[in-house]
Chain A
């Protein structure tokens, strides 16, 4: 029985790891080996693909651009979502339910629908091809998500905490920043994680809103694939490197991720 319990997750993880292994092994192969023969692991082990990425600024620049707008977006989304989530969890006000639902509908808007208008909007206000443009655009789906998650966590904090603090004479912001935020630190971590994740994996809007200066790594990859022939090894190396930020972040929040959506209200 014990052994049976382990089979299902193990098989599933093997299924998850196989394509990733294939990408990693390909990133250490030469283009000749990839196209010339079928090998289960690299026969002529090479680091050239990685060397190319770390020395060519169009490549490593892409990573830097991506990280800049992802971090900007995460900070912005969480900072504005915090007071809003507090309002939704503690107060009743005109149109609160409709507003909450309206926010969530933006999570349902396909990026493909907004790609062209976004391009025109951000061109018109002169933000096209900046990190700020992508960071702002990703707020469309990340703010609703952050509000949703944070509201769930905040509703789990008893109201007595607020009342006691106000009776003791704390001002609202003093209470909010010094007492309330530390009590929901886990929730903030989870919200930041999900914002980071969805901003990091999104490509369509990021690609639409940038051309040179703020081009994300993902766009560098798709454009390279079409211009310089099919350098699979290089592409595999670039792809492998895009997994690193995710793995680092997930390691830090592994004990909280599962709770993120579970506590949020729909």
Chain B
């Protein structure tokens, strides 16, 4: 199937991209690696420490707790956003003015700067002056996300669902509109139920974009920082201190460069590993 021709000169076309990305990726990554194996006492004096920081990070309960919270958060939002996104995409109108209206309105949360997303939910959920907080309290739930860990989690998850479900909807909708009408006509002639149309036609056709959607949501939710720090600041206590919040606290707050760098690398490797495993597993049938 591969119709590409071999052409070593193609490297010239790729070169600008490689230079720009390498400048931004390789140099800082080297700096991180450099910090991760050294100890500093200020004055720009560095001492080689080997894998000390890695061992320290891997065995610290603080890192393990943050990682657990991170995995819980990512698993929760994936479990909500993917099925919800698919369901909404299936229910979207297929033609007419409704399509444009739906697309523009649904895409809105995607284009709001992340700190504004945090700020919106911060205000929206305040128990005294926010619409959500006030309503929940009026309904009899003693809700205050600045004090209760459960309420903070609920708000954080609600915010992420609000922010990102539309991405899943847009992707799935694009895949659904690409299915030829003939498939549905054939299904109707065969007397297929709505359910089997979904399982046999729509879901397989959405597989590719679902892989992309899950990968993107996995990566981005694992990296979430700005929205969460503006909304809860990691609190109450450490209840919503996710990995990157903890990382920034260590690196920029306490200026412990060694542990922060070691943690960065472990963090990056976890994302890479998960993404690669998932991708390899999902596409193993395609390569024969």
Q: Kindly supply a per-residue 1/0 record for chain A positions 133-163, scoring 1 wherever the CB is within 8 Å of any chain B CB and 0 otherwise.
A: 0001101100110010000000000010000
Chain A neighbourhood of B169, CB < 8 A: 12
Per DSSP, chain A at the interface is helix
* Residue B24, interface by CB 8 Å: yes
Q: Are A257 and B107 in contact (CB under 8 A)?
A: yes
Q: Are A108 and B24 in contact (CB under 8 A)?
A: no
Count of inter-chain pairs, beta carbons less than 8 A: 277
Chain B neighbourhood of A112, CB < 8 A: 223, 225, 244, 247-248, 251, 264
User: In chain A, residues 30-86, which have Cβ atoms closer than 8 Å to a Cβ of chain B?
Assistant: 34-35, 38, 40, 76, 80-81, 83-84, 86
Closest to A95 in B: B11
Q: Which listed residue, A16, A121, A236, touches B28 by the CB 8 Å rule?
A: A121
Per DSSP, chain B at the interface is helix
Question: Considering the chains assembled together, what is the distance between the CA atoms of A246 and B166 in angstroms?
Answer: 15
Closest to B244 in A: A112
Chain B neighbourhood of A93, CB < 8 A: 6-11, 14
Q: Kindly supply a per-residue 1/0 record for chain A positions 227-263, scoring 1 wherever the CB is within 8 Å of any chain B CB and 0 otherwise.
A: 0000010011001001101110111001101111110
Of B6, B123, B219, which is in contact with the most chain A CB atoms at under 10 Å from its CB?
B123
- Size of the A side of the interface (Cβ < 8 Å), in residues, is 94
Q: Are A262 and B106 in contact (CB under 8 A)?
A: no
Query: Could you tell me which B residues sit within 8 Å of A by CB distance?
Result: 2-11, 13-14, 16-18, 20-21, 23-25, 27-29, 31-32, 87-88, 91-93, 100, 102-116, 119-121, 123-124, 128-132, 134, 162, 165-166, 169-171, 173-175, 177-178, 208-209, 211-213, 215-216, 219, 222-223, 225-226, 230, 243-244, 247-248, 251-252, 257, 260, 264-265, 267-268, 271-272, 275, 279, 283
Contacts A8-B91, A93-B6, A262-B178 given; 8 further ones with Cβ under 8 A? A110-B271, A111-B225, A113-B247, A116-B251, A203-B115, A222-B230, A247-B111, A257-B170
Q: What are 8 inter-chain pairs, A to B, with CB distance below 8 A?
A: A16-B106, A107-B219, A114-B28, A116-B257, A117-B27, A243-B111, A247-B111, A258-B174
Query: Could you tell me which A residues sit within 8 Å of B by CB distance?
Result: 5-9, 12-13, 15-20, 22-23, 26, 34-35, 38, 40, 76, 80-81, 83-84, 86-94, 96, 99, 103, 105-118, 120-121, 136-137, 139-140, 143-144, 147, 159, 197, 200-204, 217-218, 221-222, 225, 232, 235-236, 239, 242-243, 245-247, 249-251, 254-255, 257-262, 264, 266
